[in-house]
Structure 1
């Protein structure tokens, strides 16, 4: 029996519709699984893996708006703003979850400082939320936290709305922990992280963050133990090794006696982190940034060369090449790299770029074992670049001490003084006291070298520098000696006597053991003889008294013996 043709077509069409719905449902489930996979990769900081997965989803099904949003977030975290913006805008044309992309665009507004525009976009995302939805609130809160200028209080306010929808949701609790941590509320952060892990013990990041709190409190032993406890159960979670690297780095800074040991541990753990995440250009740049703070410039130069092979035109590679080349004495490479980088107005130039370009010029101007003075043009150019760096960020003076000391050890005292004058311009510098001492010494010794013409202005600067040392640390006894010597050169006998007397008072108060030291004895003899000479023309009795004090220490002191004999005539 023949089936009616129309009826046959209708059956076929119904079968096609059923198959299409089934196919779409299968694709939807597969995409959801792939998006979950991408989220896990993002959490594990395997960003290239996540990008690959998300691009694959978008290619196979452009209707998945959440895939665009997550991909845009990765670009934004990697500072590739143009790609992030394009991805978010394309995501707004998707059929499903397109509204999440308003959140990404909102964060970009926050980065530009346009809070009003950001809130407007967040509101567009909120309008599309279902009655029980909370994920949008979590992502809006993270936008506030991840902005260039984070607003943790706004993040907490937003998370309170998510909390009203689902107070037990682990991701809400985790975000609360991050927001409270950023807001410097350690107790609230601890509770939130603990509750997040209790709600979902597969949420490794929550347990890891408990160790991060210990790291922030400088409880380094406890932090390392906390991270190792998590590693024992989850050895392939890369971010744990990054946290260990940072913990050992800060531990090294706080325990100078074990700096080399802990810094080695830090670098080793960072290598482990890289091996478990990815070796993309973005990851290598994060690694390079860590190598800079860890002062491993040999490894930085190797990393920079590898990055150059991946992307020859990326301008940030010039920064890494410049920094490492400076420390590895490849000054021409350092100057060329940093000149090229800073000359391009589209690059994000920071104070350190000018600092190391300046230092590289100074190093080239003073190279050579037998150099007696710097090549003036290069040296002055270097000083001006350093001043430019300090004008951008005064804290960079902390990095000048090493360069100044290098010049001082070369006996390039005038050049060293020029560097130390800049480094002592910031009273908040961690090296303020020591740099002032070196500044004073540099100016003093520059005025005592063979053939030197007395520079009264420089000597007065030296006097002020030693005064800064004494004010900050009155027990620094040698500062009084050098200040007295400086005033001798200035011809100010009254101040010379004053500072030598203060030196004598300090070492006398420390007792016989201090005064018995050979170096102290030598300076006491210097003080007594110079003070006596200062009194010789005005108070012979006083002069003889001080020469006799010299003879009490050194009975055979020729200068004192001869001077006493002359004064008694």
Structure 2
């Protein structure tokens, strides 16, 4: 389910201040993931001051941004300006073939630039070695190469070690060596190289973020968090660390922290890409800040355009906010615009929204949608929700079927589920044959008693549970059989003790109490042969219901029997 924006401008959260240190350094902008700004600055500089380095830098900006064809245009412009022993732009052009996996061109061209530089220029060796790392880039909870097909850890280490031998104090080379060792599955050496880069003056925020990434990939999340926070302390505008923290907290289900750091990421980087805006809204939804999720989407409607996912997030949020009509409207719009992307949770939130309306027909439709989602939801027992609807509408076979499905899917029944299961089976115990004659379904009554027994353990003071245990054991048999087997006796006794002394409850359960008294009187007469107990239950029943004809008739019959007995004795 919960698959992101300039935070301060949208939320007005008090008490949070972000450093907004402006920077005119394109390398820093690239490290922050702000490639469009970096490219603009680099190309502008190349146009104003054409030269070997400026053309290379412009091409490099496009290369790091994942646009090798555009990068090659700038590199080729600069080739004529390369120095004889420093074919920098020619190296850049060769690398564009490497990252596109055009090895026929890449191998020959790379060999040429190494030969031209006599294999002795540290910058040329470094650029080639870095290219073989694929340009590792952090984001969305991982550190991945921009160009996976270019990755060759062995070649990267070879070129970068050669470069390091010729320029031992170059922090950029050390950072790239850290990346190469990471790709070579040598995390310990990778961290050592990153630390060397830090000692040589590399931007600490970038280094700490890289170290955090290594620890994350090794699942040492505490050390990952520690290093990301060090990166932020070093530079509060360093966006990648905020992003990684957001994704890390998302991974461990700390959604409020994830949302908070995603907000800070957006504030630091001004990243208004659709994916980022949707991710931010998603995190706030998962953090149960549903209004914030909706407000983020509405406030960024232009940037988000017609992306159908916005309707999904808003629909789910409105469903959780108990605004069913808005939820129904948005989720249905999503399903109309992107039916191929429909997932079970869409139907879950849609079903719940329909059930929140005041319309009986919508309730029925809600049950249909929940039924589509229920088999796929492993965290929420949607079968219970559906069963509740069917129970309320007296569709007892359907209610039982839903609760049976819940059990088959591994959901543990709560007290209410057990009570409904018991009561639905109890109701279904009264069947009619083809002639319309009442037929007792003993299996249904047994199922009812079993479920109600479990419900009673969970809520021992709930009188209806005890009552219907008594009635299930009573109506499963003919009246005479029910009295003789005595199965209903303890529950009738318990029920009377629970409600008999409460006037309002006596009024509510008058018929049931009378049945209980009649049962216990008969039991003590026919089974226990306990005349004293029989009279005690009769007197108690009459004290509660002096006008009840059945109890009065029993009392009258007892008096006649007593008189006959006395007459016989005379």
Please tell me the TM-score bracket, short chain as reference: 0.5 to 0.7
CA shift in 2, pair 1:443/1:360, >3 Å = closer
Give the deviation of 1:535 after TM superposition.
Answer: 4.2
The CA deviation string for residues 408-442 of structure 1, in whole angstroms up to 9 with x for no partner, is xxxx2x3343233233323xx4415x233334434
Matched, 1:532 2:474: yes
Q: TM-score, normalised by structure 1?
A: 0.60
> Do the aligned residues in 1 keep the contact of 2:426 with 2:448 (CA within 8 Å)?
no
> Do the aligned residues in 1 keep the contact of 2:309 with 2:334 (CA within 8 Å)?
yes
Matched, 1:41 2:38: no
The CA deviation string for residues 304-323 of structure 1, in whole angstroms up to 9 with x for no partner, is 455455x69x544x543663
Q: Counterparts in 2 of 1:105-120, with a 5 A limit?
A: 117=101
Q: Counterparts in 2 of 1:59-138, with a 5 A limit?
A: 59-60=47-48, 61=50, 64-65=55-56, 67-74=58-65, 76=66, 84=67, 86-88=69-71, 90-91=73-74, 93-94=76-77, 95=79, 96-98=88-90, 100=92, 117=101, 123=107, 126-130=110-114, 131=119, 133-138=125-130
2: distance between equivalents of 1:121 and 1:523? 81
Q: In structure 1, what is the equivalent of residue 282 of structure 2?
A: 292
CA shift in 2, pair 1:351/1:325, >3 Å = closer
Q: In structure 2, what is the equivalent of residue 497 of structure 1?
A: 446
SS at match of 2:206: helix
2: distance between equivalents of 1:308 and 1:553? 61
Matched, 1:174 2:178: yes
Give the deviation of 1:42 after TM superposition.
Answer: 0.7
Give the deviation of 1:56 after TM superposition.
Answer: 1.5
2: distance between equivalents of 1:355 and 1:463? 20
CA shift in 2, pair 1:146/1:103, >3 Å = farther
> Do the aligned residues in 2 keep the contact of 1:529 with 1:547 (CA within 8 Å)?
no
Give the deviation of 1:562 after TM superposition.
Answer: 3.6
SS at match of 2:359: coil
Q: In structure 2, what is the equivalent of residue 377 of structure 1?
A: none
> Do the aligned residues in 2 keep the contact of 1:92 with 1:98 (CA within 8 Å)?
yes
Q: In structure 2, what is the equivalent of residue 272 of structure 1?
A: 264
Q: In structure 1, what is the equivalent of residue 240 of structure 2?
A: 239
CA shift in 2, pair 1:472/1:197, >3 Å = farther
2: distance between equivalents of 1:364 and 1:467? 25
CA shift in 2, pair 1:229/1:360, >3 Å = closer
> Do the aligned residues in 2 keep the contact of 1:322 with 1:333 (CA within 8 Å)?
no
> Do the aligned residues in 2 keep the contact of 1:142 with 1:175 (CA within 8 Å)?
no
CA shift in 2, pair 1:463/1:563, >3 Å = farther
1: distance between equivalents of 2:414 and 2:443? 21
Rg bigger for which structure? 2
> Do the aligned residues in 2 keep the contact of 1:480 with 1:503 (CA within 8 Å)?
yes
CA shift in 2, pair 1:125/1:323, >3 Å = farther
2: distance between equivalents of 1:103 and 1:496? 78
Q: In structure 1, what is the equivalent of residue 517 of structure 2?
A: 561
Give the deviation of 1:207 after TM superposition.
Answer: 1.4
The CA deviation string for residues 246-276 of structure 1, in whole angstroms up to 9 with x for no partner, is 455556x34xxxx6xxx2x554443433333
Instruction: Select the residue among 364, 370, 379 that pairs with 1:431.
Output: 379
1: distance between equivalents of 2:94 and 2:310? 35
Instruction: Select the residue among 162, 165, 174 that pairs with 1:165.
Output: 162
Q: Which runs of 5+ in 1 are unaligned?
A: 1-35, 77-83, 110-116, 344-348, 375-411, 509-513
2: distance between equivalents of 1:245 and 1:337? 30
Q: In structure 2, what is the equivalent of residue 552 of structure 1?
A: 494
SS at match of 1:483: helix
> Do the aligned residues in 2 keep the contact of 1:104 with 1:143 (CA within 8 Å)?
no
2: distance between equivalents of 1:489 and 1:237? 66
> Do the aligned residues in 1 keep the contact of 2:284 with 2:293 (CA within 8 Å)?
no
RMSD of aligned residue pairs (Cα, Å): 4.7
> Do the aligned residues in 2 keep the contact of 1:236 with 1:276 (CA within 8 Å)?
yes
Q: In structure 2, what is the equivalent of residue 461 of structure 1?
A: 401
The CA deviation string for residues 93-132 of structure 1, in whole angstroms up to 9 with x for no partner, is 442535545655665x6xxxxxxx5655664664455235
Q: In structure 2, what is the equivalent of residue 409 of structure 1?
A: none
